Amino acid sequence: MHAVRDGDFWSSASSPENTGESYDLVIVGGGISGLSAAHFFRKAAGDQSRILVLDNHDDFGGHAKRNEFQVGNRRLLGFGGTFSIESPAPYSAVAKGLIEELQIDVPSYSRFFNKDLYRAQGMRRGLFFDKETFGADRLVPDPTTSHVGETGDHAKLDSDLWKKFLTEAPLSRRGKEDYQRLHQEKKDYYPGLNSDEKKARLARISYAKYLREVVGVGDEVVRIYQAFPHPLFGVGIDAVSAQDAWGLGLPGFSGLNLAPGAGKGMNRDAIPNEEAERYFFHFPDGNASIARLIVRSLIPKAIPGNVWTDVVSAQANYSQLDDGRSPVRIRLNSTVVRVKHVSDKSAAQQVEITYVTAGKLKTLRASSCVLACWHVVIPYICEELPDQQKEALASAQKVPLLYTNVAVSDWKSCRKLGVNSVYAPGSYHTGFNLDLPVSIGGYQCSQSPEDPIVIHMMKTPNRPGLPAREQHRIGRAELFATSFETIERKIRDQLARTLGAGGFDPARDITAITVNRWPHGYAYEYNSLFDKFWLEGGEAPCEIARRPFGRIAIANADADAYAYTDCAIDQGYRAVQELTRKS
Ligand SMILES: Cc1cc2nc3c(=O)[nH]c(=O)nc-3n(C[C@H](O)[C@H](O)[C@H](O)COP(=O)(O)OP(=O)(O)OC[C@H]3O[C@@H](n4cnc5c(N)ncnc54)[C@H](O)[C@@H]3O)c2cc1C
């Protein structure tokens, strides 16, 4: 695709081989959106409708990716991408309907989740101060209780933890005072303004600036919070509005008396919603289980099993995915490079799809086509789209992420240090967690500190100080240029420095590493600091981008600028509705 983007592809391409294949629907992109589109199309058009899903990767599921490890005689699973069924807003009837059709029993989650495993061992979240950023390497318990994505009272104090934190944190006296004040002060920094006026101010100022210029804390505290929004936004507090920081439950707002409820221009990730928070389910391989369940329903032989829980341990049979006897087929390692109507779009009865597989260019035809791939790709493969739509598609900048899974022989060092999760604002990976303890469908999670486990580490490469889209572009280039060797060295160094005092030895304890690079990760979500239309109203680019075009409809989570599984499902559904309503 990069050769297509750079204009080098077609000049050296040989003429495509016509496979003679013809389908009712071809879907470009085998992520959750494309797989959902296949599901909904089959429901609308009947079980015998012929559907082909094409994806450039060697696996289906897109972001919903599974990692497997063998440690001794134990098989461990990890999520290489999508973590769980969760969304800041409630699942729509359509998305919930699909989850229910797959028979996933979301409310039963507590039956599988060992919620007290770490707490019972006295473990909690730690904060790692690194020498390069804070002058000394030090792991201290985090005295605040909440994590990004959870609503919580940051001012809730545990005095022993605070004492320990203030004694051990490598901060100056001013830094410690600032940190404490930020959490405890209940001052109205905008006297004379009402709640809406305050929110409007907060929507236009970054949290970093708010901390520095309004609350008046020094750089040390800003550095502590810099990477806090990375897991949701992919950028730090320099590029997240103070209003969004308030929504995420970050400190500094308790004296402002802001009315509950979303303010204008809030990022969708920052709007708390109790109903949405209750709808949560984590499979050991994340939402790869959803992708596998959809594939099981489309091509039963590919994913053996009978009940939703056994999908976790099922061995996929990839040779069944593209079998000519099945009405639904999934063809992997197939990069689509051109999609066009056969003759003028108003008269065309078919769409021609050209793709590359094993270095060969091939074509096939379909009555309709859903583009469920990333929007930035579409202008390059579908040249007949109007320029305004191409521009809107191209603006769907993807958020780059690095999800690293490290299998270790035990977690005794973490237990000794009292941490199951570490926030490390200055380190290469800005956080890591011991695997969420979920046992399901014959899969047993790690139960005791002597057992092997997967440590999940995450990083979002970015360049603070620039507009968010630009930060993502630079971060993606960094991911592309960084070798596995470099990343491995960073992992070993970071885990040794963080957990070494508990006895962790990377040479002895690390048994395997899988690095999941997501240069084209989250869908870009609109941000009041950079997207005027989001703050002031007007048509969002994603609405222009997803307009149907002849026999082509456009899905993917990009189509609603919302980086969640439910969005991918909803957009797959909408795209199919547009096509089936027409025919
Ligand atoms: C690391 C990570 C963690 C996440 N965690 C969560 C979470 O916990 N909960 C949640 O709800 N959401 C989460 N999300 C978001 C969620 O995973 C996505 O919104 C959703 O899975 C996107 O599905 P999709 O089908 O729209 O896109 P994708 O999954 O990106 O699928 C698009 C597919 O199209 C393929 N493609 C692109 N170009 C071409 C081409 N030219 N030819 C053929 N194929 C092509 C791509 O390779 C890809 O496989 C996460 C996302 C990431 C990246």
Q: Ligand 1: which atom is nearest the Cα of residue 57?
A: 47
What confidence tens digit (pLDDT) does each residue in 293-331 have?
999 999 999 999 999 999 999 999 999 999 999 999 999
Neighbours of 39 (CB within 10 A): 23
Q: Is 32 in the pocket of ligand 1 (CB under 6 A)?
A: yes
Q: Is 251 in the pocket of ligand 1 (CB under 6 A)?
A: no
Q: Is 84 in the pocket of ligand 1 (CB under 6 A)?
A: yes
Cα 559 to middle of ligand 1, angstroms:
12
Q: Are strands 124-129 and 74-79 parallel, antiparallel or unpaired?
A: unpaired
Place of tokens 């800005």: 430
Cα 449 to middle of ligand 1, angstroms:
34
- Euclidean distance between CA atoms 99 and 325, whole angstroms: 27
For residues 262, 230, 57, 314, the Cα torsion angle rounded to the nearest 10 degrees is: -80
Q: Ligand 1: which atom is nearest the Cα of residue 334?
A: 43
Evaluate if residue 345 carries a pLDDT over 80. Answer: no
Cα 436 to middle of ligand 1, angstroms:
22
Evaluate if residue 154 carries a pLDDT over 70. Answer: no
Buried b (16+ CB within 10 A) or exposed e, 369-389: bbbbbbbbbbbbbbeebeeeb
What confidence tens digit (pLDDT) does each residue in 431-461 have?
999 999 999 999 999 999 999 999 999 999 9
**Average pLDDT along the chain:** 96
Q: Is 460 in the pocket of ligand 1 (CB under 6 A)?
A: no
Q: Is 554 in the pocket of ligand 1 (CB under 6 A)?
A: no
Cα 456 to middle of ligand 1, angstroms:
19
Q: Is 374 in the pocket of ligand 1 (CB under 6 A)?
A: yes
Q: Ligand 1: which atom is nearest the Cα of residue 521?
A: 53
Cα 251 to middle of ligand 1, angstroms:
32
Tell me which residue of 295, 331, 299 sits closest to 26, measured CA to CA.
331
Tokens in use for 359? 């270095």
DSSP assigned state of 529: T
- Euclidean distance between CA atoms 171 and 366, whole angstroms: 63
What confidence tens digit (pLDDT) does each residue in 13-31 have?
989 999 999 999 999 999 9
First to last CA, the chain: 31
Q: Is 572 in the pocket of ligand 1 (CB under 6 A)?
A: no
Cα 62 to middle of ligand 1, angstroms:
4
Q: Per-residue DSSP letters for 163-182? A: HHHHHHS---HHHHHHHHHH
- Euclidean distance between CA atoms 174 and 192, whole angstroms: 29
In three-state secondary structure terms, 517 is strand
Q: How does residue 582 score in pLDDT terms, banded at 50, 70 and 90?
A: low
φ and ψ at 531, to 5 degrees?
-115, 95
Cα 203 to middle of ligand 1, angstroms:
29
Q: How does residue 348 score in pLDDT terms, banded at 50, 70 and 90?
A: confident
Which secondary-structure segment (H or E) carries 370?
A: strand 360-371
Q: Is 372 in the pocket of ligand 1 (CB under 6 A)?
A: yes
Q: Is 217 in the pocket of ligand 1 (CB under 6 A)?
A: no
Average pLDDT value for residue range 73-84: 97
- Euclidean distance between CA atoms 141 and 423, whole angstroms: 10
What confidence tens digit (pLDDT) does each residue in 224-238 have?
999 999 999 999 999
Evaluate if residue 151 carries a pLDDT over 50. Answer: no
| Predicted local confidence at residue 175, as pLDDT | 98
CA angle 460, 485, 435 (to 5 degrees): 55
Place of tokens 């134990």: 74
Q: Do the Cβ atoms of 55 and 34 come closer than 8 Å?
A: yes
Percent of the chain whose predicted confidence (pLDDT) is above 90: 94
Which of 5, 9, 82 best tests ligand 1's pocket when mutated (most atoms within 8 Å of CB)? 82
